[in-house]
Amino acid sequence: MTAAVELRNISKSFGETQTLRDVSLSIRPGEFISLVGPSGCGKSTLLRILAGLAPQSSGTISIDGAEVDYLPPSARDIAMVFQSYALYPHMTVGQNIATPLRMRQLPAPARLPVIGRIWPGQSAKRARIEQTVIEAARLVEIEAMLDRKPAALSGGQRQRVALARAIVRRPRVFLMDEPLSNLDARLRVTMRAEIAALHQRLGATFIYVTHDQVEAMTMSDRVAVMMGGEIVQCAAPTELYDNPRDLRVARFVGSPEIATISSDELIAANEGFATLLPHTPVIAAFRPETVSLVPVAGHLEISATLQRVEQLGHEILVFLRLAGGARLTVRAAAANVTLPAAGQRLSVWLPRRTPMLFDADGARIFRARHGEPAHAG
């Protein structure tokens, strides 16, 4: 059970402020797509619009080709997992998971709190619901806790209950709104793997909202980076990392942040860059692993001041400052590196090829021909 989701020109304004500007996105059936961006970029609003919890100001949403704009949330065949888990605190885990089925399959009187229990003719349905609940609970390994109340569970267990409640009716599309942000770092890593595995098993379309780029990069087939109410770039994680179309995307993806140096300063640091860069002022960007602390044949040497070193065990991060004030970060294997003390000068080597270039507005500059100096093309 899976479905394609199509967002066409979705806009949303709250009074004067425009939260979403003309967002369009095609999501393939069974895809795991992440919406990622800093807080306030509109990613959660977009998810709520998709769920039907908030109306869009304009634009259409279709699921498997059918427009769902006027359908209430429960009729869209979508399940959602919330950051706060949003479990019903007065119900047991089992009742929580059963709620979506109870609301759909039982007639109105049988859903009432007290009378519902003795309403006749529902025992077959109830048994079937109970069976489905147990299966869903087993999928996320909480079948031993079905009789407990949410208050008696840990954060990770509560999130599993929320997942089970979403799984239980086998929707075609899952929406997840920062489901892991309330968990501690270690648990987040485990749950990351489990959600990815769950996606594999269910085969449904997953739309996952997060502000954590690591989460987005590790789990998704594609990542949509949102900034200021727009999707700046939507691509596979490696494409996003290697080939960002916007400086904001380049900065947002990857840790430590990509280093940016103006073309003038780069040429001042080493004349050899002059042939590689266009004549107009641009911004060059270097990922930390492209910079070398040891001489490499054919690389260009530049001089910098050592600011700070971070030891990560298997590798180190070296933070540098160029003479012109620009910052540069180097990622290197921890072994075989001897570094001077902080404040001392040292040389690093940059590849002799045109780096990623961005114009003053942050838009990526693609050269006409690959491998050619920019000003020549």
Partner 1 sequence: MPADLTQSSGMVRPVRMGAIMSPWIAYCLATPAILLLALTVIGPIIVMIALSFTNYEFGSLGIQWTGLENYRQLLDDRTFKRALWNTFAYVAMVAPASVLLGLFLAVLIDGLRHGQRFYRLVFFLPVTATVVAMAMVWKYLLHGTIGPFNLLLQSLGLPSLDIFGNRDLALAGLAAINIWSLAGFNMVLFAAGLTGVPEDIYDAAAMDGMESSLDRFLNVTLPLLGPTMLFVVVTSTITAFKVFDTVAVITRGGPRGSTDILLYTTYLEGFSYFRMGSAAAMTVVFLTIMMIFAWIQARVLDHKVHY
Which residues bind to partner 1, rule: CB under 8 A? 48, 51-53, 72-74, 78-80, 82-84, 86-91, 99-100, 103-104, 108, 111-113, 149-151, 165
CB of 92 or CB of 243, closer to partner 1: 92
Q: Closest approach of Cβ 91 to partner 1, in Å?
A: 8
Q: Which two tokens stand for residue 134?
A: 């147990």
Let me know: does 367 contact 360? Beta carbons within 8 Å.
no
Q: Closest approach of Cβ 184 to partner 1, in Å?
A: 21
Burial class (CB in 10 A: 0-12, 13-18, 19+), 124: exposed
CB of 113 or CB of 371, closer to partner 1: 113
Residue 78's beta-bridge partner residues?
A: 173
Residues in the chain: 377
Q: Closest approach of Cβ 165 to partner 1, in Å?
A: 7
CB of 150 or CB of 355, closer to partner 1: 150
Q: What gap in Å lies between CA 307 and CA 321, rounded to an integer?
A: 7
CB of 149 or CB of 251, closer to partner 1: 149
The contacts of residue 337 (CB under 8 Å, 6+ apart) are: 293, 294, 316
Buried b (16+ CB within 10 A) or exposed e, 242-258: eebbbbbbbebbbeeeb
CB of 53 or CB of 197, closer to partner 1: 53
> Terminal CA-to-CA distance of the chain, rounded, Å?
50
Q: Closest approach of Cβ 154 to partner 1, in Å?
A: 16
Q: Closest approach of Cβ 138 to partner 1, in Å?
A: 20
DSSP symbols for 14-63: ETTEEEEEEEEEEE-TT-EEEEE-STTSSHHHHHHHHHTSS--SEEEEEE
Please name which of 128, 164, 132 lies closest in space to residue 145, comparing C-alpha atoms. 164
Q: Closest approach of Cβ 102 to partner 1, in Å?
A: 8
H/E stretch holding 340: none
Q: Closest approach of Cβ 149 to partner 1, in Å?
A: 5
- List Cα–Cα distances, 152 to 82, 146, 164, 267, 273, in angstroms: 19, 11, 17, 62, 62
Let me know: does 220 contact 6? Beta carbons within 8 Å.
no
CB of 23 or CB of 97, closer to partner 1: 97
Let me know: does 238 contact 221? Beta carbons within 8 Å.
no
Q: Closest approach of Cβ 280 to partner 1, in Å?
A: 50
Q: What gap in Å lies between CA 229 and CA 41, rounded to an integer?
A: 5
CB of 22 or CB of 82, closer to partner 1: 82
CB of 99 or CB of 260, closer to partner 1: 99
Question: Prior bond to 256 cis, omega within 30?
Answer: yes
CB of 103 or CB of 294, closer to partner 1: 103
Q: Closest approach of Cβ 301 to partner 1, in Å?
A: 55
